[in-house]
């Protein structure tokens, strides 16, 4: 008797159902090995209570059913340790059990088989097969099994196990190769190149941007993705970018077209309807002056126009005109004549302008002295856009 292993006591903490299943299996093996499986009922019950431990005896004492036979006692313990199971929860755990990256296949398969016992599948082998294929971490073998179609559980188990063994054998041959790769990485220093934006060896001749022309600033030896020409704000003297060896970043991307950029920004501000620049500096009723015939004439803001950066204004004669903000100035701004529009500065005379408003003169053809007997009229698009024409009495 002493040569046989005695089963451990029943552990009543943790997963009681699993602990009872292991204890019952160990007890049955012990009884069969010692020949006590054919003993009398009372003796087998005594052996059970002797091996189950003190906590198991306390559970036995609380049983209210019949305890005359060994089979009845086993059934009472089974009902106590394995209460009614939630099949839906058991299947949830089964279908969400995936193999971990470094988890051995046999360990994963044993856990799947154990979870399947509580799921009460009609076809247990098919459910286990599906879970092994869909949950394996070996995606290459998984794809092959899915392509093969309806394979048996035995075939799935064999192929996944052989694939794992093959990976371990191949990995055992790689330490020398991996060591060489590590040595090469240590000896070869890679840098984040500021000229091409990529990683390569610390050798200027190996830079992909060497000799290339930037599509942004038209200079050489760098790509547009790393071009810094927009960061230059103050330009006094052009400094060329001669070579990749020049380490002075402030002078490398020197820009010589700042004035052109300022003009482009100003045109975009005044005329581009898609511009997102906010230029709403005029308010309703504000006193302003607007440009008319190269003269700044006083007027008032009526309201913003639907067109971008345009306002409706009313002049001293009551005419409502549409003007762009480039032709408007606040009344407290110094009035100056645009030198690009005329060579002879003209000062605005309010009395003269009022007299002209009281005695309006219709537009006359503009005569030129270049050719006799020929007159020229200004283009129609230069005419003021009147939204309302005042009566003579209002003037």
What is the tens place of the pLDDT at every residue in 100-147?
A: 888 899 999 999 998 888 788 888 899 999 999 999 999 999 998 898
CA distance 26 to 37: 13
Res. 366: pLDDT tops 80: no
CA distance 282 to 277: 15
Res. 395: pLDDT tops 60: no
Res. 235: pLDDT tops 70: no
Side-chain half-sphere CA neighbours of 138 within 13 A: 23
Outline where 149-234 has alpha helix (H): 153-172, 175-187
Task: Decide: 207 and 244 in contact? Cβ < 8 Å.
Answer: yes
Mean pLDDT of 221-233: 72
62-76, 203-217, 318-332, 372-386 — which is least confidently predicted? Answer: 372-386
Task: Decide: 227 and 217 in contact? Cβ < 8 Å.
Answer: yes
The predicted-structure confidence for 241-250, as pLDDT tens digits, reads as follows 444 444 444 4
How much is the pTM? 0.34
CA distance 309 to 299: 17
Q: Which residues pair with 204 in a beta bridge?
A: none
Mean pLDDT of the chain: 75
Determine the pLDDT at residue 162. 92
Is 38 buried (19+), middle (13-18) or exposed (0-12) by CB count in 10 A?
exposed
Res. 392: pLDDT tops 70: no
Task: Decide: 206 and 193 in contact? Cβ < 8 Å.
Answer: no
Residue 150 burial (CB count, 10 A):
7
Mean pLDDT of 22-26: 91
Q: Which residue has the higher pLDDT, 203 or 127?
A: 127
Res. 351: pLDDT tops 50: no
Determine the pLDDT at residue 344. 35
Dihedral-angle region of residue 35 (phi above 0 means left; psi in -120 to 50 means alpha; beta otherwise): left
Determine the pLDDT at residue 18. 82
Element (H, E) at 298: strand 295-304
CA distance 198 to 192: 6
Task: Decide: 64 and 20 in contact? Cβ < 8 Å.
Answer: no
Helix (H, G, I), strand (E, B) or coil at 240: coil
């Amino acid at each position: 008797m002493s040569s046989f292993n005695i089963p451990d006591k029943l552990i009543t903490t943790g997963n009681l159902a699993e602990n009872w299943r292991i204890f019952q299996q160990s007890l049955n093996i012990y009884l069969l090995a010692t020949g006590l499986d054919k003993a009398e009922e009372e003796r087998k019950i005594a052996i059970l209570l002797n091996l189950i431990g003190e906590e198991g005896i306390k559970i036995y004492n609380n049983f209210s059913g019949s305890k005359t036979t060994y089979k009845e006692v086993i059934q009472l313990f089974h009902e106590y340790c394995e209460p009614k199971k939630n099949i839906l929860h058991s299947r949830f755990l089964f279908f969400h059990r995936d193999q971990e990256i470094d988890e051995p296949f046999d360990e994963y398969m044993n856990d799947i088989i154990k979870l399947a016992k509580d799921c009460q599948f009609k076809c247990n082998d098919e459910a286990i097969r599906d879970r092994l294929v869909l949950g394996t971490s070996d995606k290459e073998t998984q794809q092959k099994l899915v392509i093969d179609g309806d394979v048996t559980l035995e075939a799935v188990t064999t192929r996944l196990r052989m694939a794992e063994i093959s990976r371990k054998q191949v990995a055992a041959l790689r330490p020398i190769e991996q060591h060489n790769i590590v040595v090469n990485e240590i000896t070869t220093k890679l840098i984040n190149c500021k000229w091409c934006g990529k990683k390569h060896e610390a050798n200027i001749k190996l830079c992909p941007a060497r000799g290339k022309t930037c599509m942004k600033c038209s200079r050489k030896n760098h790509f547009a993705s790393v071009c810094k020409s927009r960061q230059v704000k103050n330009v006094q003297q052009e400094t060329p970018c001669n070579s990749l060896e020049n380490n002075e970043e402030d002078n490398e991307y020197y820009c010589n077209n700042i004035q052109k950029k300022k003009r482009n920004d100003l045109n975009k501000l005044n005329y581009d309807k898609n511009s997102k620049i906010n230029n709403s500096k005029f308010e309703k009723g504000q006193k302003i002056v607007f440009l008319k015939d190269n003269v700044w004439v006083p007027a008032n803001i009526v309201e913003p126009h639907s067109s971008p950066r345009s306002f409706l204004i009313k002049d001293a004669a009551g005419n409502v005109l549409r003007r762009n903000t480039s032709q408007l100035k606040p009344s407290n701004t110094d009035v100056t004549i645009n030198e690009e529009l005329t060579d002879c500065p003209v000062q605005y005379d309010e009395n003269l302008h009022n007299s002209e408003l009281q005695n309006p003169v219709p537009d006359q053809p503009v005569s030129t002295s270049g050719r006799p007997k020929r007159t020229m009229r200004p283009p129609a698009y230069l005419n003021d856009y009147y939204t309302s024409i005042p009566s003579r009495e209002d003037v």
